[in-house]
């Protein structure tokens, strides 16, 4: 892959400071899910502020560090804190870490997020495996000149979330007795939460959950040919007739409460991988 100088410099710094990264599973920990990072064994970490060209996260509850270590025998490289479009970053900054992950030879990505449930079968605290997404961001990280060595000008998106990895996630979840939902994640810019009419619209167009991340990262990863699996923790509900007031604090609290469940599923998933 031809690589822009900032991506290469960031990756080289990471390799120097975290010990050689070989073939990790890349993990992005969403809002309220950062505690998971403390489960990583033999962890070596570096704050984003020290990595050349890495954007800095500005949101409360997003710590901003990269952690390299092992979990259930698997090499992992986890991002505690991600970059959101609503923070004012250009899409190229939102997806910068994904491109660094490619340069660091990530075998696949496990993305996680907090989201609002619009499927009436969902409850707060449920975890959904993302099967597909709808991009309602006003942009796309691939707009602009294409680097043909990163990926094609018009990337295929027929399998945005890897069927095999998703199936393995369901197997792992049933082994630990935590049933998972599955469905479509609708990505929006935020930062305001949705109006009742918007939640209704999101349901009508085929969404099961809505959130402010993940979609740009998925698009960048698929452009690079990296397989993706993703988990969405439902932190609030936007169900017609039951739309309640929602705050970032509530989203964080609900995600933190569900985090041990997610950790259990992910551990079982990793333990099953060869």
Q: How far is it, in rounded angstroms, from Cα 229 to Cα 214?
A: 11
Task: List helix spans (H) across the chain.
Answer: 5-18, 91-94, 96-103, 163-175, 196-204, 215-224, 248-272
User: Residue 166 Cβ, how far from ligand HPA at the closest point, in Å?
Assistant: 21
CB-nearest residue to ligand HPA: 116
Q: Answer for the pair 74, 67: CB distance below 8 angstroms, yes or no.
A: no
Q: Which residues of the shown chain bind ligand HPA in the complex (CB under 6 A)?
A: 114-116, 190, 193-194, 210-212, 235-236, 238, 246, 251
User: Residue 235 Cβ, how far from ligand HPA at the closest point, in Å?
Assistant: 5
Residue 38: strand, helix, or coil: helix
User: Which of 155/190 has CB closer to ligand HPA?
Assistant: 190
User: Residue 229 Cβ, how far from ligand HPA at the closest point, in Å?
Assistant: 19
User: Residue 120 Cβ, how far from ligand HPA at the closest point, in Å?
Assistant: 15
Give me the residue label for tokens 């369901």: 170
Q: How far is it, in rounded angstroms, from Cα 104 to Cα 20?
A: 9
DSSP state of 273: -
User: Which of 77/188 has CB closer to ligand HPA?
Assistant: 188
Q: How far is it, in rounded angstroms, from Cα 236 to Cα 244?
A: 8
Verify cis geometry, omega within 30 degrees of 0, for the bond prior to 191: yes
User: Which of 184/251 has CB closer to ligand HPA?
Assistant: 251
User: Which of 194/217 has CB closer to ligand HPA?
Assistant: 194
Cross-strand partners of 117? 209, 237
User: Residue 130 Cβ, how far from ligand HPA at the closest point, in Å?
Assistant: 13
- Residue 21 tokens read as 């990264």
User: Which of 169/210 has CB closer to ligand HPA?
Assistant: 210
């Amino acid at each position: 892959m031809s690589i822009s100088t900032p991506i290469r410099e960031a990756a080289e710094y990471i390799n120097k400071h975290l010990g050689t990264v070989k073939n990790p599973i890349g993990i992005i920990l969403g809002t309220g899910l950062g505690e998971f990072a403390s489960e990583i064994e033999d962890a070596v970490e570096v704050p984003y502020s020290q990595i050349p060209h890495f954007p800095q996260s500005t949101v409360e509850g997003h710590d901003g560090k990269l952690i390299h270590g092992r979990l259930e025998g698997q090499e992992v490289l986890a991002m505690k804190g991600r970059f959101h479009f609503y923070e004012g970053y250009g899409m190229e900054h939102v997806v910068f870490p994904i491109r660094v992950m490619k340069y660091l030879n990530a075998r696949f990505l496990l993305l996680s997020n907090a989201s609002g449930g619009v499927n009436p079968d969902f409850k707060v605290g449920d975890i959904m495996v993302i099967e597909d997404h709808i991009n309602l961001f006003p942009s796309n990280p691939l707009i602009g000149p294409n680097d043909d060595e990163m990926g094609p000008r018009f990337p295929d998106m027929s399998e945005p979330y890897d069927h095999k990895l998703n199936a393995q996630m369901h197997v792992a979840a049933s082994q630990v007795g935590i049933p998972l939902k599955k469905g479509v994640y609708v990505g929006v810019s935020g930062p305001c939460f949705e109006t009742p009419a918007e939640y209704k619209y999101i349901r009508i167009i085929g969404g099961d959950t809505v959130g402010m991340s993940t979609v740009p990262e998925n698009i960048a990863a698929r452009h690079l040919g990296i397989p993706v699996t993703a988990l969405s923790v439902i932190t609030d509900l936007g169900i017609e007739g039951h739309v309640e007031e929602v705050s970032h604090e509530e989203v964080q609290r609900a995600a933190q409460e569900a985090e041990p469940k997610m950790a259990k599923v992910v551990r079982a998933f990793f333990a099953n991988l060869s």
